[in-house]
Every structure is written in structure tokens, then in C-alpha cells.
Structure 1
Amino acid sequence: MLQYWKQFSINSDPGPNSFWRIKFIKELATYSDTSITLQHVKSNMFLGTNYGYSCNNHYYYRYHESPSTKHTEVSCSNDAMNYYWVKDWKFNHGKVKNHQDFLKSNDVINLSIKRLHDNNGNKTSNGQVEFLRSHYIQFTIGEDALQEVCCHNERLGGNDEWCIELIKQYNWTLDQVC
């Protein structure tokens, strides 16, 4: 199976922490049915949500909350074996006019993720859909100033829109993969 990806920045003044890869399986990321993952270029970690945590050999089941907003916490991980880690995002066009059926540079999109577990830790097929939101709260790790994002199920607004700035695109062929 071939995997395609695009690299983009979420900051108008891009620095090393601003670049993400959009990974998807199909040749084009279409608005109707494509799941994508967002991989941070610098750390190679994926953006997602986590349901549960381990403490003293006991696992607690609940979505992590953002300390500032109390919405669902969004974080980065590369733990593919974590059953409670969700990294598959859906996207919808944020602006209804003048768009094609696939994701491209300068598109304004909304990113959503579905809760896969209920509040008792049981897997559910009809989980709540939440949208990725940015806000102006920043925090630092080392010398890096980072912007906090979270997921919510409230009315969509300007802080829920993400503009794709295409930096580079790779289309792998079978000759390059083999």
C-alpha cells in the first residue's frame, strides 16, 4: 500500500516546530472520506488524543483535559501500540466557496477526531466528534515557545480553522518504494 504525504506549516512565520506532514493512503486527500494523520516534522510524533493513563500499575480510563480550557487535551505521541491513542483525523473545508474535492495548498479546513471510547472505557462506534481548536495560550519547553491546542464539541469559529500551506509534496511510485 502506498502512502502519500504533504508537509505544511501552521505558522505564518515558520520555525522548526511549525512543520507537520499530512499523511494519507490515497493519491489525493479528498474531503469526502479520507482519514489523515498529522506528523510533527521535527519530532516525528503524531498529533492525537489519549484516553487513559497508567499510575502504580493501574490504568485509568478518561480523556485527558487541557489544564487551561478543560476541553479534550491534544498531544503528540509515537506510541503506535497504545490502544487508547487516537491519531486519525477527518477534515472538512472551512470555507464553502471556491474549493475542489481534494486537499490543496491555501485551503482553510476544520480538523475533527472521533472519541472511540465512552466514559467507562468501553469502545464505542458512535463516539462524539470533536474539532481541533487553537488559542493564544502559549507554553515553553526548553527554549521553544509552543501554542496550545485542544479538541471541543462546541460551535465552530475562527480558532477552529487551519490554513494549509503546501511546502513540498511527494508522490511515491512502486519503483521508489521497492
Structure 2
Amino acid sequence: MKYNPGKEENYTASFLANFRSLCNYAEINDPDELKTLLVNSYSNYFFKIEFAKRVDNIDPKESPYYIDELVKLFNEVILDELKIIKSDSLIALKHVTTGRYLSSCDIKYQTGSRRNIVFAGEKFYNSHSIWLLSKIKSHRLNQQNMVFYNDEFHFRHKETNNLFWLSYNYKSPTTRQSEAFCNYETYNACWQIINLESKNRTHNDNNTLYVNSKDIIKLKIIGDGQDLYLRSHDFTFTINDETFQEVVGHEDRIGANDEWCIELIE
């Protein structure tokens, strides 16, 4: 049997029910044969790696209904694959401490670079807070273009089509740290996601650091100068009587204000 996702609604449940029925009909109950049949049923890179690793935690001698455990694991890995952040995913970044989403718009700073502002906006994502994550360099080869921790990438603001940067030259309007801004130019710099804290993953392995939706992350930009970490806080700035929560880059000690929750939009 071959697993073909997207074939029909509730396909995974139907596939697993058919798999169980066929194994019962053919009287296949050898653990190794059951594992081999399932792992070979789907050619997805993430599935093969994760299923093969996790299945070793199931002891056939302690699981009288071994096929039930395999079916459950298959379903878990399939669901986990849907949470993986991939290159060219649309994502949102929620500041953990304040609950506000990283945002930008066509309003310009009145000081500093005078480019498009970046700020922590509403406590729900909207058109100002959706970003395209595009990988430019990976330290791992993979088939599904998954994003790993420490990959290098760009953030592009979906609404304005501008790239997101931290400035080595201009200061933020309130706290005078590195200005966060958006514009159309490309610089000799890139973003990295660091410091894994996965909330949803059923299996943590420091050797397989896929970035998942709902992971708590820290972000830094690597360029010609010192690495800069992305931060927000309760400080605000005002433009034309409208108040915005400041977002900055910094070189200081990492803390709670540097934590962001990455959310997959599509």
C-alpha cells in the first residue's frame, strides 16, 4: 500500500483502516514486517526519518496490540509534518511577553532611516503581521525544503513586499537601540532562528531541529557587524498621534523579551 495524502477527505483514517484490515487478512503480525510496510508506504522525507526514530520506542513485547501502536504513531507523524515550517511559508511572529504580533506598514519613521516602521501590533494577526519566510542557505539537505534551526533566510512582509532588517546605523525612536525597519533593498545579512523550545513536537531530538509552528524561538540577524537579536518590550513611539510598540535589535543579554512564537499561516 502507498500513502497518498490529499487524495480525499479523511484519507489518513481510511488508509490506516485499510492497512489494518489487509494485515489481518494476510495474517501479518511480525513487528519488523509491519514496521517496514508502514515506513515504505510514504516517500515523504520527514515521515521516514521521524517514524523510523520514534518506532524504536515501541516495544513489541510490552505492546500486545502492536499494530494499534504503529497506526497511532503513523497518524502522529503525519500530523506533525503539517506543523513544519518550510521555505516560502507564510508565518506570523507573536511576541511572547506582550502577546502582540510583529508587524509593518507603509508608515515611515520620522527619525533614523525614515523607512517603513516595524512594530508589535495587535494581539491577533492581520494583514500587517504576515511574513514570507524564504530560506537562502541551509546546513542540511532535505527534500521538502523544511526550515531547520540555524538555517539562514529572509523575511518579506507580505502586504508591502518589503524585506525586514535590523539597522547597524540607525537607532530606534525610543530606546535608541538598533532600528527595526522594512524596505525593498537587499543587504549582506540574513536571519537565523535559534534556541529551540518546541511546544507541539511529540519527539524532541537535538539532531533533528525542524522548526515547527508554535515553537518558541529567538531570532538574530547576521551581517557585517555584531549579531543583533530581535526584541520587543513595553516601550512605545508615536507617529501622527498613533502609538506603536517598539521593536528593536540589540547586543545585550538574551531574555524573555527576545522570545517569539512562530505560527504557520499557510
Give the TM-score category using the shorter length.
0.5 to 0.7
Q: Which residue number in structure 1 is paired with residue 89 of structure 2?
A: 6
Partners of 1:105 and 1:76 in 2: how far apart? 24
Alignment of 1:130-169 (within 5 A): 130-139=228-237, 146-168=244-266
Q: Of 77, 98, 106, which aligns to 2:183?
A: 77
Q: CA RMSD in A?
A: 2.7
Match of 2:130 among 10, 15, 19: 19
Matches within 5 A, 1:31-46: 31-32=149-150, 34-46=151-163
State the alpha-carbon separation in 1 of the partners of residues 125 and 241 from structure 2.
Answer: 16
**Which residue is 1:57 aligned to?**
none
- Give the 3 Å change call, closer, same or farther, for CA 93–24 of structure 1 in structure 2: same
- Partner AA of 1:31 in structure 2: Y
1:105 equivalent to 2:216? Answer: no
Q: Does 1:29 align with 2:147?
A: yes
Structure 1 CA distance for aligned equivalents of residues 155 and 148 of structure 2: 16
1:145 is displaced (CA, Å) by 5.7
Change in 2 beyond 3 A, CA 1:86/1:133 = farther
State the one-letter code of the partner of 2:229: F
Shift of 1:147: 3.1
CA distance in 2 between counterparts of 1:46 and 1:28 reads 21
Q: Distance in 1 between matches of 2:170 and 2:188?
A: 12
Identify which of 218, 223, 226 aligns with 1:128: 226
Contact 1:46 1:87 in 2 (8 A): no
Which residue identity does 1:73 align to in structure 2?
Answer: E
Cα displacement string for residues 58-114 of structure 1 (whole angstroms, at most 9, x for unaligned residues)? xxxxx111121121111101123xxxx355111102538865511110011111113
Query: Within the alignment, does 1:93 sit opposite 2:205 as a pair?
Result: no
Q: Residues of 1 paired with 2:182 and 2:133: CA distance?
A: 14
CA displacement 1:107-160 (0-9 Å, x = unmatched): 1111111340xxxxxxxxxx4212000122344667976432111111111110
Flag structure 2 segments of 5+ consecutive residues without an equivalent: 1-85, 94-100, 102-122, 139-144
1:45-67 superposed Cα distances (whole Å, 9 cap, x missing partner): 1110344xxxxxxxxxxx11112
What secondary structure is seen at the aligned counterpart in 2 of 1:17? helix
Count matched residues. Answer: 140
Q: Secondary structure at the match of 2:152?
A: coil
User: Per the alignment, in what secondary structure is the counterpart of residue 89 of structure 1?
Assistant: strand
- Secondary structure of residue in 2 paired with 1:106: coil
**In 2, Cα distance between equivalents of 1:107 and 1:24:** 18
Matched residue SS, 1:79: coil
Pick 1 or 2: higher relative contact order, CA cutoff 8 A, min separation 6. 1
| 1:94–1:161 CA contact under 8 A, matched in 2 | no
The answer to whether the 8 Å contact 1:49/1:87 transfers is no
Does the CA contact (< 8 Å) of 2:198 and 2:212 recur in 1? Answer: no
